[in-house]
Amino acid sequence: MVFVRHALPGEVVRARVTEAGAGRRYWRADAVEVLTPSPDRVPPPCPVAGPGGCGGCDWQHATPAAQRRGKAAVIAEQLSRLGGVDLAGLGPVEVEAVPGDTAGLGWRTRVRFAVDGEGRLGFHRHRSHDVVAVPDGCPIAHPRVSELRLTTRPWPGLAAVEVVAPAAGGDRLLIVEPAPGTSAGVLDLPPLDGPTALARREPRGHPEQGGLSRIRGRTWVEESVLVDGRPHAFRITGSGFWQGHPGAAQVLLDTVLAALRPGPGECALDLYSGAGLFSAGLAAWVGPAGLVVAVESDRRAAADARRSLHRTGQVRIEQDRVERVLSRVTGLLGGRRVDVVVLDPPRSGAGRPVVEQVLALRPRAVAYVACDPAALARDVATARGCGYRLARLRAFDTFPMTHHVECVATLVPAGADAAG
């Protein structure tokens, strides 16, 4: 089997093998010449999006509609093959455009640039540490990123430059990461085209390894979504996790709440809770008589959640590994039963031990937010063995021009109706 990048289904191409070898399960190749193009093929909007260029965008050569169809096919295949899901019973898989999408461009509010040996900003080649310079910028970067014109000037002495630009406005944050051996006192940073806070990411061996030191302004940004019809602000330190697409956080929150429909006084678990996006929504629906236990292992994300939810008394934040909290969750709940659960694990998925622990609590519904269809499918298979079924699936094109996709799967006890 050969995976051919930059080709589309039905095309005839001339491909160059890039990874091969005896005993490999599959080879990789790049389509270097298209002999019979697909009707879905379009010119890539970025000059370095082709073979040998930037490794960030996989599908700039396809229409946005074709990209979404391709992602839907991947989700369906993985659910059927790895998850054992009866697709006829589930219905057709569709990947929806995120509200506010503009032909898949200008959406990325969080961009990490690599820096080459000449101080130019760029991105790594596909499956490589080589840096491809992008002097004309990145077409999928949000306008608030592009207007800083970071790629038009040199950044000597740095390994990376990150920019965080909240779509709703407010201060942007620029994070510089010095190259190994570069001291903070000799950083030569160019002027910026706009007001921007500035921070330095600390290297390995520093007491705050991976943390931020303030250079100018604050080291966090403010994001906002509507919770129960009212704006709710979230503090996000540095490049801490928040959806990169401006419309993604809102649509995922709304979809999770519609799937679970938490009721007043109910008890909810928000696992891998990050900065507290889903906890805020759950808290609004269960009300003061309800309880939300949010679990997040990352110290900075848990601290952000505490600041963002400090006025919400029904939320309890546990900074620990999910499996450890689940092992003692009965005591945390004070005898209450778990009604609904949000699972939003990292790309590798929740995994069998966590899924089994969650479903042993017998919630009436679980909303599983997944950014990898294969990991989701494996966990759905585990859920089936625990007496739960996949009742509903929605998928969103939160990463246009790339192969990434976000799913929200609703799991309910076998024989039960979907939650909403």
Within a domain: 397: no
**Within 10 A of 237 (CB to CB), how many other CB atoms are there?**
20
The pLDDT score that the predictor gives to residue 275 is: 96
List of the chain residues with pLDDT < 50: 420
Q: Give the domain extent around 8.
A: 1-41
> Can 371 be counted among the known catalytic residues?
yes
Residue 162 counted as domain residue: yes
Amino acid at residue number 228: D
Q: Are residues 118 and 199 in the same domain?
A: yes
For residue 195, the model assigns a pLDDT of: 84
Contact 46, 139 (CB under 8 A): yes
Does the residue 191 lie in any domain?
yes
pLDDT, position 270:
98
Q: What residue type is assigned to position 280 of the chain?
A: A
Tell me if 55 sits within 8 A of 127, measured CB to CB. Answer: yes
Domain boundary among 186, 221, 256: 221
d(CA 222, CA 187) in angstroms, rounded, equals: 27
What's the pLDDT score for residue 78? 97
Does residue 387 form part of some domain?
no
Contact 4, 31 (CB under 8 A): yes
Q: In terms of domains, do 37 and 126 share one?
A: no
Q: Choose the catalytic residue: 46, 267, 371, 386.
A: 371
Domain annotation covers residue 179: yes
Provide the number of structural domains found in the chain: 2
CA distances (Å), origin 246, targets 15, 80, 105, 108, 124: 36, 31, 12, 8, 24
Q: Is residue 159 part of a domain?
A: yes
Q: Which of 205, 221, 237 is the last residue of a domain?
A: 221
Which of 320, 409, 328 lies closest to 361 in space, CA to CA? 328
Give exposure, 367-381, as e/b (b: 16+ Cβ within 10 Å).
bbbbbbbbbbbbbbb
Report if residue 332 sits inside a domain: no
Tell me, yes or no, whether 123 and 21 share the same domain. Answer: no
CATH code of residue 122 = 2.40.50
- Asked which of 187, 221, 255 is the last residue of a domain, the reply is 221
The answer to the question of residue 139 being in a domain is yes
Q: Read out DSSP for 75-103?
A: HHHHHHHTT---HHHH----EEEPTT--T
Helix or strand or coil: residue 18? strand
pLDDT digits (tens, 9 = 90+) for 170-227: 899 999 999 987 665 667 888 887 789 999 998 765 555 568 999 999 999 999 999 9
Residue 93 structure tokens: 């898989």
- Alpha-carbon span 79 to 375, nearest angstrom: 10
Helix axis angle, 64-81 relative to 373-385, nearest 10°? 30
Q: Which residue has the tokens 């929200």?
A: 408
- For tokens 């778990």, what's the residue? 338
CB 145 within 8 A of CB 109: yes
Q: How far is CA 411 from the centre of its chain?
A: 21
How far is 252 from 409, CA to CA, in rounded Å? 11
- Confidence at residue 208, expressed as pLDDT on a 0 to 100 scale: 59
Adjacent-strand bridge partners of 173: 164, 197
Taking the C-alpha atoms of residue 104 and residue 60, their distance in angstroms, rounded to an integer, is 9
